[in-house]
Amino acid sequence: MSMSEPDASRSPEASRSPGNRCTPDSVLHARTGTDVSPEDVVLAAGRDITPRNLEWAKRKIETEGPAALDKLLP
């Protein structure tokens, strides 16, 4: 193992399930408790900030709430 590779035996996931080292989506949290803006959603989707994309993001926030951002982020 090279110095840049993390030691798998130290990761919390390794102690829980040796075959699955990915953190489940249900325990990942992206937001810090602040309001989600349309700009945040557009950028998280990898899109440019344009009037059309901002309208898309506003509709997404209206239907999904703050989870709209969480769904886009890893």
- How many CA atoms, within 13 angstroms, populate the side-chain half-sphere of residue 8? 9
- Residue located via tokens 């489940």: 24
User: What's the mean per-residue pLDDT of the chain?
Assistant: 76
Please write the tens of the pLDDT for every residue from 18-28. Answer: 566 776 766 65
For the cut 70, the answer to whether the pLDDT of residue 61 exceeds it is yes
Query: H-helix or E-strand containing 13?
Result: helix 12-16
